[in-house]
Structure 1
Amino acid sequence: MNRPLMVAFDVSNQQTALKLAQALGPDGRGKTVKVGMELYYKEGAQILQKLQELGYAIFLDLKLYDIPHTVEKAMLQLARLGVDYVTVHAMGGREMLQAAKRGLVQGAAESGLPAPKLLAITELTSASEEIVTREQNCRLSLKEQVLSLAKLAKDSGCDGVVCSALEVEALRRAVGDDFFYLVPGIRMADDQVGDQVRVATPAMASKAGASAIVVGRPINQSPQPKRAYERYLADWQEGTKEE
């Protein structure tokens, strides 16, 4: 299957990250891990290199959101790290998204590396309808807002979006199949949802048309991460078989 189940390495330091990597298996080839703010801000690029040496593909999830010039220069540096996916906030607007893409392309070309996929954050899976309408003061419904941001991202040169499983089918119809739909907020029916609001099982996300899923606490906080990973992977693959 060429649609990855990404494991979120949302841990506080390199030692814990490498212990988790070892628990998932000594060979990371064929697996993708998400390195987010917590781990990257503590350990920097060296943790990416160590995980890459183990064979893992890297989703570097820093969710850049700043003026276009700053985002462009930041993406230029991130492209030199050899990661596979990076994120930016779609609400930064067209000019910022285009600048992000320029930075990635330039940085990758200068380093002789493939450019990472640029994924735009639509609305976080912790966001609810109330947050969007009352706190963001958005005139659109949550689903309409996600759709609008996804269209903007594609028009601005992004390779895909981060969205919940609940929006994927509508996005595929409106934005197209030639786009990458990454779905976090993945939980089994018997798992605690934590601070996630818009959640789905792996099979549900697969049937909806997700290109990839991200699983965090149910795996990285499990006493048996490999068994948890295999459980989620089986459900994800089962959903794929039923398509």
Structure 2
Amino acid sequence: MTGTVLMVTHFEGTDLKWIHKLVHARGLQSQLAQPFAGEELPELGSLAAVICLGGPQSAYDGERHPFLVEEQNFLARAVEQQVPVLGICLGSQILSLALGGAVVHGSQGLECGLIDVRLAPGNHSILELEGQFFSFHSDSFVPPIGAELLAVSNRYPQAWRFGSALAVQFHPEISPIGIQALLSVEATKLGAHGIDVTELLSAAVRDEGHAWTGAQRVVGGWLDTAVLATERQPIP
């Protein structure tokens, strides 16, 4: 197994600062793919893992954004070949579609800002998913049949796993710089919901230390348990 972690992004300026830090601290290499900009996805045989990140698109809008369908097929093949895959926000929804689940418009409205994530009953993951994390989404995944629900908020399911795949709806990876970039991309949606962007950014800056700890627990923990294992296997 090689030591390259592929990061799939969906808009210019995606925050990769903390992911790079966590990946490189473990002696792994990082590679960027931007299918939204016309870049091709690499061969799976060259990769140790895949992280599929967030973006402004709707995962089910493959007709408008054909690259999303290509990503679905790519992630399905990755899981079939037991390559560790982490899907975050939009990435978690693409992963759900890739594995036979669904993505729907959220019945509880926009979930935006710091949210409390709690473990789902029967959670058997060794990852520390519980805590407060930044979230921004109005669509929600329906996990594929056979997936184990790991975490929820008071509005939506937040994490599940299936084979070598881990999906999280919230953002364990994002820094204040990334939140600022995300909010600028989502300006239209924010305005429609009357969101106070200044307060969101202020809260993100105040919470930076706690957010970095969460990134180490979730993303770093996933790298340790799923990627650095001696053999490719589902997260225990």
Q: Which has the higher helix share?
A: 1
Q: Would you call these one fold, judging by a TM-score over 0.5? A: no
The alignment's TM-score, normalised by the length of structure 2, stands at 0.33
Bigger radius of gyration:
1
The alignment's TM-score, normalised by the length of structure 1, stands at 0.32
Q: Which has the higher strand share?
A: 2
